[in-house]
Amino acid sequence: MGLLEDLSQRVSAAFAAEGLAAELGQVRLADRPDLAQFQCNGALAAAKAQGVNPRELATRLAQRLENDPLLARIAVAGPGFINLDVRDAELQSRLRMQLRSALLGAPQTAAGRLAMLDFGGPNVAKPMHVGHLRSSIIGDCLQRLFRANGWRVISDVHLGDWGLQMGQLISEVQIRGLAPVYFDARHEGPYPAVSPVSMDDLEALYPAAAAACKADPARLEAARLATAELQAGRPGYRALWQHFVRVSEEGLTREFSSLGVHFDEWKGESDADPLIGDMIADLKRRGLAVLSEGALVMAVAEPGDKKEIPPLLLLKSDGAVLYGTTDLATILARVSRQDPDLILYIVDQRQHVHFEQVFRAARKADLVRKAQLEHAGFGTMNGPDGKPFKTRAGGVMKLYELIAMAKDEALKRLAEAGLAADYGDDERAEIARKVGIAAIKFADLSNHRTTDYVFDLDRFMRFEGKTGPYLQYAAVRIQSILRKAATAELEEESAHVLDSVEERALMLQLLLLGEAMASAEERRAPNILCDYAFELAQRFSRVYAARHILAEEDHSVRVARLELARLTLAVLTKVLDLLGIEVPARM
């Protein structure tokens, strides 16, 4: 049980004993750390409801807590706040238990429930740019967090491989005459095993095709036709498409692994295709899918809607499917194969209405069983002008360019600090990689998930202050201390109770890991973990500056501080791991 939870239970019991609602006993961190460690505001609400004096009520409640062995101090303050401090010895013994437990205080919220996380969502033929950072990094953080909290997790990259852009590419290849055999209707037998296009080709073809379709309605029509024919199963198109997908996957795998982002499944929109025929027939039979303006749609409006929710389009008038169709069929596939408790989509906030449509359709058609469907949207990454981020040259910055820049910056920093010389090239490069990635991830994750934010290159290249490298640096310093400490002392337990303000502040923060993880999961909010980690590193740095560890002469004090250092390292490393950040041995 987490410390806040424990305190809340105790205070709740006091409320109950006064005949009041136990929920009012919720304890939280004090707003005024100078006055107390924790506080409960429930007496104010209770007094209001009962029409009694809040201070008197708070005083009665406080009296009931006076003999609690966990508490060092109970005080009534202000209009009726109940302020609480925990005994130092209690803090320390709880910390010891936390260090011994493999979970380090991770809350087991899930009890083995299964969550499927859908994120990444890169498109075939489109290289990943900085805009793909958010989905990948947030999704990866959430899958790490959910696993740590006891969920079974299946993550799926859900490749964009079945929509109009495939038709755009196919028709572009046809017009350029790059691979005529795939367009020869009389061709029989197998198609070439080697792709006619490379990743570089695709990167050039796609923007050209998209631009052409935008400018010329006839080109767009050709792309639509090609899309429909691909989906209908035209062999040459399928073969060509297969090459696009394979070539793209190679590039994408490289990008994701350089970010340290892992997926359990590499499925895509197209994997839902085999289910679509039966699904649509079934929806028609049940009268859920009807023709409207030549398209097959499913109404999803509900009586209480403030806003008109348009029907979900299942089939266009030319018979092609849309991403709503594949999303719906994908739910069907996931539910029938894995029967998850939760399907969580980490996708751009702008697609919120789309998911509302799909989720409603899925529930209406009774496809979900026990699965909760949820869209965890994220805000757009904008440039300084408030519009989606572009490089100075006007193009979109590629992800690998951003990573390379961060690494170079980290290398430069190492050189400036004079640390580069004695490390060896490999280690130096590895440190620069970890530091650069940390800077990028932390800068992104520390923003609140749902709000748009301004992409500031300098911020991603910064290593001081509230940054990923600051956290790594704190961990590295601890590692360095532990390496230098006598091994025998690392095994010992000290009877000394640490009681300096800096150490107490650090211990309190360490004990709140579980609360931070639970809260981050509940709100699907990595920035909560970022704030927790930064606060933790900062409190350690204060201890580091104020309380020398290795030079401490009193053996039992030294050992107690070493224990605290070990626990800090364990917790910090854990949170960084949840954020997808690795800690180098030194930096």
Partner RNA sequence: GUCGCCGUAGCUCAGUAGGAUAGAGCACGAGAUUCCUAAUCUCGGGGCCACAGGUUCGAAUCCUGUCGGCGACACCA
Residues 269-288 that bind RNA (CB under 7 A): 269
CA angle 123, 165, 212 (to 5 degrees): 125
User: Measured from the CB atom, is 36 or 179 closer to RNA?
Assistant: 36
Specify the stretch interacting with RNA by CB under 7 A; choose among 157-165, 180-188, 196-204, 281-289: 157-165
Q: Can you list the alpha helix ranges (DSSP code H) found in 511-583?
A: 513-522, 526-546, 555-578
Gap between the Cα atoms of 373 and 375, Å rounded = 7
* Minimum distance from residue 2 beta carbon to RNA (Å): 13
Beta carbons within 10 angstroms of residue 392's beta carbon: 8
Q: Which of 9, 292, 336, 372 binds RNA (CB under 7 A)?
A: 292
Under the criterion CB under 7 A, does residue 114 sit at the interface with RNA? no
User: Contact 561/486 with Cβ under 8 angstroms?
Assistant: no
Token look-up 């303050």 returns 77
Question: Nearest Cα to 331, choosing from 367, 307, 365?
Answer: 367
User: Measured from the CB atom, is 24 or 153 closer to RNA?
Assistant: 24
Give the list of residues 6+ apart from residue 14 with CB closer than 8 angstroms, or none.
Answer: 25, 61, 64, 65
* Minimum distance from residue 299 beta carbon to RNA (Å): 9
Gap between the Cα atoms of 199 and 205, Å rounded = 10
Q: Which of 35, 72, 275, 405 binds RNA (CB under 7 A)?
A: 35
* Minimum distance from residue 87 beta carbon to RNA (Å): 19
Under the criterion CB under 7 A, does residue 481 sit at the interface with RNA? yes
Q: Which of 190, 306, 392, 553 binds RNA (CB under 7 A)?
A: 306
Q: Count of residues binding RNA (CB under 7 A)?
A: 100
Specify the stretch interacting with RNA by CB under 7 A; choose among 57-65, 246-254, 460-468, 510-518: 460-468
Give the pair of three-digit tokens for residue 493: 């337990």
In what helix (H) or strand (E) does residue 428 lie, and over which residues does it extend?
A: helix 425-445
Token look-up 């075939």 returns 124
* Minimum distance from residue 160 beta carbon to RNA (Å): 4
* Minimum distance from residue 226 beta carbon to RNA (Å): 12
Contact code string over 178-207 relative to RNA, x by CB under 7 A? ------------------------------
Q: Which of 132, 477, 504, 524 binds RNA (CB under 7 A)?
A: 477
Contact code string over 488-517 relative to RNA, x by CB under 7 A? ------------------------------
User: Contact 56/8 with Cβ under 8 angstroms?
Assistant: no
Q: Which of 7, 115, 142, 414 binds RNA (CB under 7 A)?
A: 414
Give the list of residues 6+ apart from residue 553 with CB closer than 8 angstroms, or none.
Answer: none
Q: What are phi and psi of 348, to 5 degrees?
A: -40, 135
Under the criterion CB under 7 A, does residue 550 sit at the interface with RNA? yes
Q: Which of 24, 331, 376, 435 binds RNA (CB under 7 A)?
A: 435
* Minimum distance from residue 264 beta carbon to RNA (Å): 21
Residues 351-370 that bind RNA (CB under 7 A): 351-354
Q: Which of 69, 190, 217, 294 binds RNA (CB under 7 A)?
A: 294
User: Measured from the CB atom, is 203 or 430 closer to RNA?
Assistant: 430
Q: Which of 152, 547, 557, 566 binds RNA (CB under 7 A)?
A: 547
DSSP 399-414: HHHHHHHHHHHHHHHH
Under the criterion CB under 7 A, does residue 62 sit at the interface with RNA? no
Under the criterion CB under 7 A, does residue 81 sit at the interface with RNA? yes
User: Measured from the CB atom, is 275 or 295 closer to RNA?
Assistant: 295
User: What are the angstrom distances between the C-alpha of 31 and each of 235, 456, 537?
Assistant: 66, 32, 20
User: Contact 183/230 with Cβ under 8 angstroms?
Assistant: no
Q: Can you say how many angstroms the Cα of residue 299 is from the centroid of all Cα atoms in its chain?
A: 32
Under the criterion CB under 7 A, does residue 378 sit at the interface with RNA? no
DSSP secondary structure code for residue 22 in this structure: G
Amino acid in the structure at residue 317: S
User: Contact 227/164 with Cβ under 8 angstroms?
Assistant: yes
